[in-house]
Amino acid sequence: MASTVTSRRKQLGNELRHARNASKLTQQQVAEFLGCTQGKVNKIESGAVGVKLGDVRSMLNAFGINGDEAETLMNLARAAAGQRGQWSGYRAVVPHWFRTFTDLEPAAAEILTWHGERIPGPLQSEHYMLKQFTEAGATDVTSLVRNRLDRKAVFDQLQPPYYRFIISEGALRRAPGGVAPAVMLDQVEHLLALDTRRPRVYVHVLPFGAKLAAVPNDFTIMRFPDRTRDFVYIEHSAGGLYLDDAKDFQLFVDSWDRLRGAALERAETRVFLQSLADSYRREMNA
């Protein structure tokens, strides 16, 4: 599946930033060359805003890039210029800092994600979503649920990414808003059904008894098959952070490897989930 406009824009920004660094120019020097602010150059490089084709050509000339490499980047710039108003209507509820993530999600080759206290969006059952958004006091629950359900389309692509989830046992026992065995039974059954129907979706539970010194905050690693730079996404209360520095990226890969080594295997996770579902059924009937 072709990358979306936003993914191409971020990809272009990454390439321009690395080309600028290779040429030993600062963002301020590029800004003076283009007749704009340093902040605008920073937004171009982060993929937050679009960039005129003429400005891209000028930047490539300043960086000493020509020939086939320049033409490849100009083609990328043309693809990134095809912005569509895809964030109107019910999609407008998506925070601006998360839109790059959702646009890049279908373009990834592999996604590795760790969640300690909540079920990640693509794995949530509709019952869990409703409970979560309602307990959070959301004013447009219908749009939020519809948008989250749309994200599940990533699983239906002809070649979906390999989506590998590690979920803490805590996320499977902590229901939105407190004790809610019916909600959590629905969620656990949803995970079991996903495991059966989606061969490229891997769910691994990290049990309370796992041998780890500590667990990190939630994070997601995205790897891509094209020129898009691999990155780590970290969400926090005020927004989201995208890291693609090689050293930072490797730190999170190492964290993922430690978590994966301590987590249950896929078959073991299935047994764990079946046992947990039985526990929730007994709780409901008590």
CATH of the domain at 102: 3.30.870
pLDDT of residue 86: 60
Are residue 62 and residue 201 in the same domain, yes or no?
Answer: no
* Cα–Cα distance, 221 to 169 (Å, whole number): 21
pLDDT of residue 83: 46
Are residue 46 and residue 165 in the same domain, yes or no?
Answer: no
CATH of the domain at 72: 1.10.260.40
Are residue 101 and residue 66 in the same domain, yes or no?
Answer: no
Q: Output the tens digit of pLDDT for each of the chain's 286 residues.
A: 334 566 678 878 888 998 999 999 999 999 998 999 999 999 898 887 888 888 998 999 999 998 888 887 887 787 777 644 466 677 788 887 887 788 788 888 999 999 999 999 999 999 999 999 999 999 999 999 999 999 998 898 888 999 999 999 999 999 999 999 999 999 999 999 998 999 999 999 999 999 999 999 999 999 988 667 889 999 999 888 888 888 999 999 999 999 999 999 999 999 999 999 999 999 999 7
Burial 34-67 (b: 16+ CB within 10 A, else e): beeeeebbbbbbebbebbeeebbeebbebbebee
Q: Give the pairing type, strands 162-168 and 110-115.
A: parallel
Q: Residue 119: which H helix or E strand, with range?
A: none
H helix runs in the chain, sequence order: 5-22, 27-34, 38-46, 53-63, 67-80, 96-104, 126-135, 141-151, 169-173, 181-197, 246-262, 266-285
* Structural domain ending residue among the three candidates 50, 80, 110: 80
In the numeric block, the tokens 């320049």 are attached to 70
The parent domain of residue 201 ranges over 89-285
Are residue 181 and residue 103 in the same domain, yes or no?
Answer: yes
* Cα–Cα distance, 242 to 220 (Å, whole number): 10
3-state SS, residue 234: strand
Are residue 232 and residue 129 in the same domain, yes or no?
Answer: yes
* Cα–Cα distance, 187 to 98 (Å, whole number): 24
End-to-end CA distance of the chain, in Å? 48
Are residue 72 and residue 94 in the same domain, yes or no?
Answer: no
Are residue 74 and residue 128 in the same domain, yes or no?
Answer: no
* Cα–Cα distance, 47 to 42 (Å, whole number): 9
Tokens of 273: 């989930």
Domain count, the chain: 2
Are residue 40 and residue 102 in the same domain, yes or no?
Answer: no
* Cα–Cα distance, 50 to 80 (Å, whole number): 7
pLDDT of residue 102: 84
pLDDT of residue 2: 38
Are residue 12 and residue 122 in the same domain, yes or no?
Answer: no
Are residue 63 and residue 188 in the same domain, yes or no?
Answer: no
